């Protein structure tokens, strides 16, 4: 026996992608290199020397991919705009051919009855701006606001939701702290400066969007954070303090400026040996706290921590993304099944995050803007792609969203990551997150079992679960 877990009328069902991961056409129609073009061409940075030069060739296969979205029955599609395709140097006027691509994409989505949800920054900083100092430099925030205004002027009558930044934690701390993402720099100070300037850029972009968007469109302005579901491994005070430290540099470094116009006091104290925060100027935090219409949450797995002890993994000497916390914290493996990324599968972490935000940010609508899993799936001799592990993962996490809704969390939508197998950053093409299999040699698309399952969920408006 099964019973339906129905989602509210008007719940937004979507999928998500990112420009550098799927578009390809890296040198066409005026596009110039981003930091990921440079990083992926640097020996040893990306597995197998893979690049996003072709990726899933979405730039040339947009109609085919929108047809896939129609088959799924999604109400929304979240994509990102490639900054170097629209404003190649990060300064000055926009390139119309670049804007035309996104105009066509938005128009075709709307014709298919799908709401366009555009992310302005999914990590593809124009290389020329990185050469000038990148996100650790204040000027980059102003350049981003200019770009946001250009995009809104061109696409404001077409896009339903504007997201300023995707996962600024990754951009700051993986890009400038541990160096495992572009641009590959390893400096705690640079990472902290980048985090602040990303917050500032977000606030400035909110203002630029509000000024440029047609008032009649009632477009939504949002931000997407990859908040960490942090758990202490025990109730021992030292372990609880370890969780507090990770929460400060992983979550509250963005939540507090954006929603409260302040820096977390404990974060400033934790990082005193790294920086005095003198790069924060009067008015910056008020700018970062410009009101937004919703908050996007990206979630994949939880994080468990304990106080560091002898032989802790964090004493390895490798650059860490946890500025100010790395010597005090060790990460504890979470029990249970794992994905091909070696990430633990634990849907309770998503529920915990959503309930936390209900309590800490009352009145802020939430969207789950990314959730999904990589598995080693493949097309079998009959051409089918069976991925039962992904179906189980998605079912559990949508169940967590439903539980949060039942407990009064204002969750407006769910965007599955990802529509297509794609360029998975430093992992290249070795990891597959898509519900549509892509044969990168031929660009053939094949619906996985998870895609058919998700289409059924959308058509039903909910999950079937044992009664």
Residues that are catalytic: 167, 370
Q: Return the H-helix or E-strand segment holding 450.
A: helix 449-460
Which stretches of 178-233 are DSSP H helices? 188-212
* Rounded alpha-carbon distances, angstroms, from residue 416 to 114, 151, 395, 450: 15, 25, 11, 11
Identify the three-state secondary structure at position 19: helix
232 and 173 Cβ atoms separated by less than 8 Å: no
- Partners of residue 3 on adjacent β-strands: 465
314 and 320 Cβ atoms separated by less than 8 Å: yes
Q: How far is the first Cα of the chain from the last one, in angstroms, to the nearest whole number?
A: 6
Tokens encoding 378: 């493949």
Q: Using N-to-C axis directions, what is the helix angle for 62-72 and 449-460, rounded to 10°?
A: 50
- Supply φ then ψ for residue 60, to 5 degrees: -100, -5
DSSP state of 344: B
Other beta carbons within 10 angstroms of residue 179's beta carbon come to 21
Other beta carbons within 10 angstroms of residue 105's beta carbon come to 24
Q: Strands 329-332, 294-298: parallel, antiparallel or unpaired by DSSP? A: unpaired
77 and 114 Cβ atoms separated by less than 8 Å: yes
Q: Return the H-helix or E-strand segment holding 303.
A: strand 303-307
Over the Cα atoms of the chain, what is R_g?
A: 21
What CA dihedral angle connects 177, 178, 183 and 184, to 10 degrees?
Answer: 130
């Amino acid at each position: 026996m099964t019973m339906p877990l129905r989602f509210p009328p008007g719940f937004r069902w979507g999928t998500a992608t990112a420009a550098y991961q799927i578009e390809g056409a890296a040198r066409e129609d005026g596009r110039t290199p981003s930091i990921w073009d440079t990083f992926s061409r640097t020996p040893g940075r990306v597995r197998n020397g893979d690049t996003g030069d072709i990726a899933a060739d979405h730039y040339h296969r947009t109609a085919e991919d929108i047809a896939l979205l129609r088959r799924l029955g999604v109400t929304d599609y979240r994509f990102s705009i490639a900054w170097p395709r629209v404003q190649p140097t990060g300064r000055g006027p926009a390139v119309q051919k670049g804007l035309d691509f996104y105009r066509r994409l938005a128009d075709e989505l709307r014709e298919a009855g799908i709401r366009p949800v555009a992310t302005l920054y999914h990590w593809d900083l124009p290389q020329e701006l990185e050469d000038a100092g990148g996100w650790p430099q204040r000027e980059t925030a102003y350049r981003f606001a200019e770009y946001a205004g250009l995009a809104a002027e061109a696409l404001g009558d077409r896009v339903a939701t504007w997201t300023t930044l995707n996962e600024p934690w990754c951009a700051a701390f993986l890009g400038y702290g541990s160096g495992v993402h572009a641009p590959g720099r390893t400096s705690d100070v640079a990472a902290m400066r980048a985090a602040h300037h990303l917050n500032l850029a977000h606030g400035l972009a909110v203002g630029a969007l509000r000024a440029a968007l047609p008032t009649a469109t009632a477009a939504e302005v949002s931000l997407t954070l990859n908040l960490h579901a942090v758990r202490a491994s025990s109730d021992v005070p030292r372990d609880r303090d370890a969780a507090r430290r990770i929460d400060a540099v992983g979550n509250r470094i963005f939540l507090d400026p954006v929603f409260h116009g302040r820096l977390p006091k404990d974060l400033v104290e934790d990082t005193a040996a790294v920086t005095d925060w003198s790069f924060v100027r009067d008015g910056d935090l008020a700018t970062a706290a410009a009101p937004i219409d919703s908050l996007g949450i990206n979630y994949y797995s939880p994080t468990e921590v304990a106080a560091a002890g002898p032989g802790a993994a964090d004493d390895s000497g490798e650059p860490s993304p946890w500025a100010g916390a790395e010597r005090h914290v060790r990460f504890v493996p979470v029990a249970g099944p794992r994905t091909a990324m070696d990430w633990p599968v634990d849907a309770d972490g998503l529920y915990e995050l959503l309930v936390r935000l209900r309590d800490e940010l009352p009145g802020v609508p939430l969207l789950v803007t990314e959730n999904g899993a990589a598995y080693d799936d493949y097309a079998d001799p009959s051409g089918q792609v069976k991925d039962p592990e992904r179906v189980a993962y998605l079912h559990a996490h949508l169940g967590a969203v439903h539980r949060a809704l039942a407990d009064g969390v204002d969750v407006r939508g769910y965007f599955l990551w990802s529509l297509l197998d794609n360029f998975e950053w430093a992992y290249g093409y070795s990891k597959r997150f898509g519900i549509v299999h892509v044969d990168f040699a031929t660009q053939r698309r094949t619906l996985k079992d998870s895609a058919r399952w998700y289409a059924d969920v959308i058509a039903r408006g909910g999950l079937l679960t044992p009664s």
